[in-house]
Structure 1
């Protein structure tokens, strides 16, 4: 009996997210009209892209025992810098800098988060709260709180382009998921991330540069948030510092938790984060498709997180 119970608990931890996703898909196949249409597939995939990209960075941070509340604000900063650079430097140089500089700035902000956590021993939730508040304020100051509309055909490829019929942003998302999963499984850096989250002091005593690992992971998380911010403004052909990335930190944490990454650190599941993000998006789509208001989707998201945390405790 105990073996059966242990087996069920293990199955829930490792396959619960996939089962939930399969049930959602099955429900929509039966009860939601046009669910199998290319338009529905495209809408769900493009809407989940930024959650997954930011969620990968969040997964790496959480694997080290941290958390990053500033990702939404970093999306706003990156999304604000891009059109400002395009306006100042039209042409290929402006396009290159308009993509590279915002991502580098977001990565530098991530380094700042990591520096606060490691140098001053500040709890990650407090350290990243600084940019959670100030970061969006910086973006709003840069734009004077106004919507920045712009047109750049090369930049539009990020959010609207397609390759062999597949949206470019979806290909970027899959590439990031595969690269991050490979890094965790096959590189020394990936093993150091997990070891740092499992026991930072023991990792340090073992010769692992735990502090530098944490700073690097926060920088990666910032860079991925910056890329997500660029994708968002590329889709809209405008930058809104008030809305870009708003609430993204919660979606990313939820996707990570639902996907099976331990919130206490020491374990990471990148593909689980992808599945968790798909569950969150598909839940939202399902409720809206059946006339349930978005507020209910927020309640459903909260319930999913509670269940995910409960399963982890078992």
Structure 2
């Protein structure tokens, strides 16, 4: 069907808006907060938001890789809780107290290793046993947080350890350490997706898994790999949350992070059917998710409403994805 002269520019403008919807939403949120939210432009507010965005963005980047293969990972919040529960147990132990530097090193390395093993568990169920991703990751979604609570006897673990707390409270050039870490991870993953054979297979599997198999691609290994990466990134985020709070709460660490991560990935441009892995888009999505949450809370709106707002964001993002196909 031929478009009239008046329809062409209107459709062109609509497509441009759809293509840059995330940036438009970010600008609107920033302008609204600058105008109506008290103390929004203060440096302390910036640091708080960077700290919150970093954990969402780190997990969202891992989720983006998983979604790019046509999968999903519901276990990221539970992996965060498990990694966060393990760390204080190590450096607060007798060995950790007697060897402070080594104790902190082990308190970082050991939980990350466990997080990677959790990702490996998910990946093997999905790639080798052909279990649906939502079912496979639901196992750790249910059991992972339970294991964390058993390890801590359901108690809040508080501590004072400047070495470990640097993960959450340290600064480089005046900006939070976890912000720099997020950027470093993004650069590495962007290179992985855009410049390596592994990255090309990720997109190929999400675009057409059957064709990827017929072409001789290592589909199973790539799928396992993305779940391992996602698990490891969830572990990093779990450690950051514990370091920020100087406390480990297995019941709350990573709670509903799977929702935030999926929302950030989708808002950032990841297609739920797979085939795209916009790493920096995931960071943009994380910023939007955090700003929505901050805006509502700073203006006296209940936290429950923020959950509804995030669900609405996912709905709009999915609609935009469908509209792009038309």
TM-score when scaled to structure 1? 0.96
Q: Post-superposition shift, 1:150?
A: 2.1
How far apart, in 1, do the equivalents of 2:10 and 2:194 lie? 29
Work out which of the residue numbers 12, 21, 27 in structure 1 matches 2:26.
21
Match of 2:194 in 1: 185
Tell me, what secondary structure is at the counterpart of 1:288? helix
1:104 aligns with 2:104: no
Q: Post-superposition shift, 1:14?
A: 2.6
Q: Post-superposition shift, 1:179?
A: 1.6
Match of 1:71 in 2: 76
Q: Post-superposition shift, 1:8?
A: 4.1
Q: Give the number of the structure whose alpha-carbon radius of gyration is greater.
A: 2
Tell me the matched-pair count. 314
Work out which of the residue numbers 215, 220, 225 in structure 1 matches 2:224.
215
How far apart, in 1, do the equivalents of 2:11 and 2:66 lie? 29
Map residues 1-314 of structure 1 onto 2, 5 A cutoff. 1=3, 3-4=8-9, 7-8=12-13, 10-88=15-93, 89-90=95-96, 91-314=100-323
Q: Post-superposition shift, 1:4?
A: 4.3
Tell me, what secondary structure is at the counterpart of 2:92? helix
How far apart, in 2, do the equivalents of 1:208 and 1:9 lie? 38
Deviations 1:113-159 (A, max 9, x none): 01001112111001100000011111111111111122222111100
Q: Which runs of 4+ in 1 moved over 6 A?
A: none
How far apart, in 2, do the equivalents of 1:109 and 1:285 lie? 31
How far apart, in 2, do the equivalents of 1:132 and 1:259 lie? 24
Q: Post-superposition shift, 1:254?
A: 0.5
Deviations 1:219-260 (A, max 9, x none): 000000000000011111111111111100000000011111
Worse overlay, 193-202 or 123-132: 193-202
Q: Post-superposition shift, 1:53?
A: 0.5
Task: Report the CA distance shift for 1:306/1:44 in structure 2 as closer, same or farther (over 3 A).
Answer: same
Long gaps (5+) in structure 1: none
Task: Report the CA distance shift for 1:4/1:186 in structure 2 as closer, same or farther (over 3 A).
Answer: farther
Contact 1:14 1:260 in 2 (8 A): no
Tell me, what secondary structure is at the counterpart of 2:26? helix
TM-score when scaled to structure 2? 0.93
Contact 1:156 1:237 in 2 (8 A): yes
CA RMSD of aligned residues (A): 1.4
